[in-house]
Structure 1
């Protein structure tokens, strides 16, 4: 249960960072620290993805988790809540926004930083497909192969960054990069929780080997890719530092510094619904405060606070009325009774 609690708490920390970036950072104007050093929202989304990389391959490799069961559970876990969130987003923001509930920007042109444009959900779905393909081929259990996949995806990100700079192409450079990090997280899981001490040592060696490549290649990816089309007022070191902090923070908080705060665990349990519903609830609170004739700095703070409270309440309601019933249905359809701790974690 300790693993389950501290991973959910880490997911809750990611939720807090996304809430901070979405609702409260805009109230600060344009502080130098957040323009040039750290992106809290990106850090939170990186932790979401690293957690998925941490738990998905391990749960797929468990004896009771074949591909069919995984697909049924994932579909019933993700799709019903997504449909509800899409309906709400369409109502609040219009039809064009509804197809990608939770996305943070326009979908017209591929972005260098895919997480800030599309959000983490499309990346997670691509990762699911890659894991299912590796499981179907019988290779998902191999820690050396997953480490190799992580390095190949890192190399692909580097090639896209160089192509973006040389040919001025709009390429989603960080898509293979974050997928690489997710496969690294799956190796990190074995380094922490594999039953055999030899297997743990072997996984740690692969993890250290992969981290060395990240240390060399990450700055080149962001320097090359970002220099091709920089965003005014921002700098590429901000992205490098955020990714480095994301990797280092994930390693520490998933191993040596586990968190078990009940508040963070609760936030982690509603993270998916909150991620989907936050844009619509933010727009709703803005309309409410505008309708009341509030303006100025106090109105902006009231809007942000009310938006946070409404989003948390709506996410809890969606979790209780939509997510949990379909999660239970997925368990019944796949015949699962006594789940192992990791499987319980991934069904949350």
Structure 2
């Protein structure tokens, strides 16, 4: 995630910036598809692999390449570029996963077993590294109210509940979770996530432009921090239980609860500014809209027009915000780097879509497969490298290159081990549990069937588990 202005080396910890970095989407829920189908989806893995590399690079700037931070970052925000690529991929694939399953219960079982195991591993490593002094300690706010922080993190909504992140990159998973809640609410209401993507995206873009800069950050948690967490945890737990009920009334009530929670947190209690919060979720729904257009779920002409207008309105909101960013009521105004990064993320995503039938380098698609673990595990490794290396200004180019290669090697090895021994086994367990639930007839009846998508496997973060990721980057 984009770094703020560098702090003294002794205390700076890849601080979570006021604005997002990159995050993965969650892993896909389906078993690995056939070879031909997998190849057709390699473009998604390639995109997540690119986004993962960009995230690691973003977080290495203050450690090894401060001149890039000074010169390029104001005009191209690497972190935001990665995050929006991750979120576009997530939006493209996650609603299709729910529609393919046609079961809210099975969808959430899959999400839980793909998102939480590597997330828990990353959180444990972050806490242990901080306690051992080999990385920076987590924010002080966590120790002041540990129970509150723990419950908030279990929802993955902690960044929107006013609770500091145990690991700074966890913030993107809060937006992934908001998206899942909204997609679930739409599904229960009979509105298909992919089919409604274009119009919903335009609505969020309009909201970002119209009211995004007029709203304060942390409005609710700033006044009632404890109650915010209690209400948020209860609303999410109660809403999810209700939408899995067999009673139509409870299902509708649960859908309304989840939608109200997600929208309320985005608008009233965000940390990064309502404009950017709404833009992130709108971008994910735009990804769903692209899927609907590609698979002819909607009339192409109107859908394409809405998607183009949504992206234009979001970019225009960013330009207006940075030109008018000196006004005191503007919460976290964007920079030119934000605008350029969002545009570049869209171009990257559309280029991948256009090239989806081409072969992609296996190394890049493999990186996409493990991208969820890359995203979650790289921060403490970057911090350790920072402690061991010298000040960038005192290193010759060869020395910097050596540290950069060591950093990348350590991140890839850690992510590969996590994927092999944490993600894959837990994904398998989740699939077995899903089959048991289905066989026992425990899944609540869902809305009428819809044609299954080609696959719900997302690249990197998603497939990580196969997050196809989260993914969270994001999952990412």
TM above 0.5, one fold? yes
Q: Which residue number in structure 1 is paired with residue 138 of structure 2?
A: 96
Aligned partners of 1:124 and 1:107: how far apart in 2?
11
Q: How many pairs does the alignment contain?
A: 328
Q: Which residue number in structure 2 is paired with residue 296 of structure 1?
A: 394
Secondary structure at the residue paired with 2:192?
Answer: coil
Q: Which residue number in structure 1 is paired with residue 276 of structure 2?
A: 174
**Alpha-carbon displacement from aligned partner over 1:262-295 (angstroms, at most 9, x marks no partner):** 01111111111111111111122233446xx998
Q: Which residue number in structure 2 is paired with residue 218 of structure 1?
A: 315
Q: Which residue number in structure 2 is paired with residue 113 of structure 1?
A: none
2:50 to 4, 13, 23: 13
**Alpha-carbon displacement from aligned partner over 1:12-68 (angstroms, at most 9, x marks no partner):** 111111122222575333446523321122111111111000001111111x34111
Alpha-carbon deviation of 1:108? 11
Q: Which residue number in structure 1 is paired with residue 219 of structure 2?
A: none
Alpha-carbon deviation of 1:134? 0.7
1:41 to 79, 88, 92: 79
Q: Does the 8 A contact of 1:54 with 1:186 survive in 2?
A: yes
Alpha-carbon deviation of 1:109? 7.9
Change over 3 Å in CA distance of 1:344–1:248 after alignment to 2: closer
Alpha-carbon deviation of 1:333? 1.1
**Alpha-carbon displacement from aligned partner over 1:156-204 (angstroms, at most 9, x marks no partner):** 2123433159xxx973321111100111110101222x1x5xx46x145
Q: Which residue number in structure 2 is paired with residue 121 of structure 1?
A: 173
Which structure shows the higher helix fraction? 1
Q: Which residue number in structure 2 is paired with residue 27 of structure 1?
A: 64
Change over 3 Å in CA distance of 1:5–1:204 after alignment to 2: farther
Q: Which residue number in structure 1 is paired with residue 361 of structure 2?
A: 261
Change over 3 Å in CA distance of 1:125–1:297 after alignment to 2: same
Secondary structure at the residue paired with 2:354?
Answer: coil
Q: Which residue number in structure 2 is paired with residue 250 of structure 1?
A: 349
1:73 aligns with 2:125: no
Aligned pairs for 1:326-341 within 5 A:
326-335=426-435
Change over 3 Å in CA distance of 1:76–1:118 after alignment to 2: closer
1:158 to 196, 209, 217: 209
Alpha-carbon deviation of 1:242? 1.0
Aligned partners of 1:280 and 1:67: how far apart in 2?
35
TM-score with structure 2 length normalisation? 0.61
Aligned partners of 1:5 and 1:306: how far apart in 2?
27
Aligned partners of 2:314 and 2:208: how far apart in 1?
9
Q: Which residue number in structure 1 is paired with residue 188 of structure 2?
A: 136
Aligned partners of 2:162 and 2:59: how far apart in 1?
22
1:342 aligns with 2:455: yes
Change over 3 Å in CA distance of 1:219–1:319 after alignment to 2: same
